[in-house]
Structure 1
Amino acid sequence: MSVDAIMNTEFPAGYAVFFGAEGKVVMTPQSEEHSSTIKAMQYDTILSFGRHAKTVSDVYIDFPADENSAPDLAILRQDAQKEGKRYSFEDVLLISEVVSISSARKDYDDCTAKYGRYGIPVYVVVDPYAAEVVVHTQPTGTGYIAAHTHKYGTGRLPIELADGRTYTLDLDELPRPEADPKTGTS
């Protein structure tokens, strides 16, 4: 499927659509936890940088080789300028993806390799099901050199950005999936 065909396709409401290597198109239903987690991270960007900080959520960012992404949250350089209708991967200081049941492999493996390969300085995986956040730093051609795991409920997590600013993620305020009343599991 060509990029033009994808860009002009209307996908069903309530789904996130991801485009992977080899022309894969993955549609994932959005959960309340997913949405609430993104909202919590966006709120933390306002507390960290003010309401006019350059951040985007679920907005396409141009990457080379038609590997464009619409991450759950991206924090951009303050001087970032759109090239045409989009920002470039070169403007990104931090990308965060929120794990859903069907996206775990993509978020933990595929995105870690991709964002590292393109030199995204900080990649954060937020996993409501494991109640943890993994912060990847020091990008390489195949991923990241460093990965540090932080549990939900352990306070404020300062994350240093390449431009010297600090994004503070409040691990006490990240939502957790509600238990299924029938099974008692999330």
Structure 2
Amino acid sequence: MSADAVMSTEFPEGHVVFFGADGKVIMTPQSEEHSSTIRSLQIDSLALGRHAKVISDVYLDFPADENSAPDLAVMRQDAQKQGKRYSYEDVLLVAEVVSVSSARKDYDDCTAKYGRYGIPIYLVVDPYAQEVVIHTQPTGDGYIAAHTHKYGTGKLPVELADGRTFTLDLDELPRGG
């Protein structure tokens, strides 16, 4: 899609549009709950340090053209971009926030994908079910362990492979309608 076509296109209200370097245009719905939840995750990540490599909606390179722009990713401190993007190999934690239209993708497809590529920790944050599922111990087709934590149950420390702790405040996560 040319820049002129993009500038003259009217995208549906409530959608976020991403333009990949490879020419792909990705349009996804984003609700207030989705946006607020990502912001809450970002706030919780500040405890990792002002200069921690934490990214949101930024493309990561995965093999086999399965690139992703997760809602939140915590990277190794020594991660370096390879070209214009970080590699999946530098990811310590990925969090995806469930939206009404993405539930199957976040719970099933992403669990299989992130496990297949060895992402150490995958969080599914669901403002509608008011729960967080922590997937650990990646395998070739998903994860061995999955633990569900309900909203409103305090602070949830998540140990990262580099010794740091990402603490998710389950009392402060926005709830879906």
Matched residues in 1 for 2:109 and 2:38: separation?
20
Paired residue type of 1:111? C
SS of equivalent residue, structure 2 residue 43: helix
Identity of aligned residues (%): 77
How many residues align? The count is 168
Counterpart-to-counterpart distance in 1, 2:130 and 2:30: 18
Amino acid at match of 1:96: A
CA offsets 1:47-94 (integer angstroms, 9 cap, x no match): 2x1121101000000000000000000000000000011000000000
**Secondary structure, in 3 states, of the residue corresponding to 2:70?**
coil
Tell me, what secondary structure is at the counterpart of 2:112? helix
- Measured on the aligned residues, the alpha-carbon RMSD in Å equals 2.3
In structure 2, C-alpha distance between the alignment counterparts of 1:99 and 1:151, rounded to whole Å: 15
CA offset digits 1:116-168 (Å, max 9, x no partner):
00000000000000000000000000000000000000000000111111100
Task: Letter of the 2:159 partner, please give it.
Answer: E
Residue 90 of structure 1 corresponds to which residue in structure 2?
89
Equivalent in the alignment of 2:112: 113
Q: Tell me the distance in 2 between the aligned counterparts of 1:145 and 1:17.
A: 34
Q: Distance in 2 between matches of 1:141 and 1:58?
A: 25
Aligned to 1:130: 129
TM-score, normalisation: structure 1: 0.84
- The aligned runs of 1:1-186 (5 Å cut-off) are 10=6, 12=11, 14-16=14-16, 27-47=27-47, 49-177=48-176, 186=177
**Deviation of the 1:17 alpha carbon:** 5.7
Change beyond 3 A, Cα 1:108–1:16: farther
Unaligned segments of structure 1, at least 5 residues: 19-24, 178-185
Q: Which runs of 4+ in 1 moved over 3 A?
A: 9-14
1:108 CA displacement = 0.1
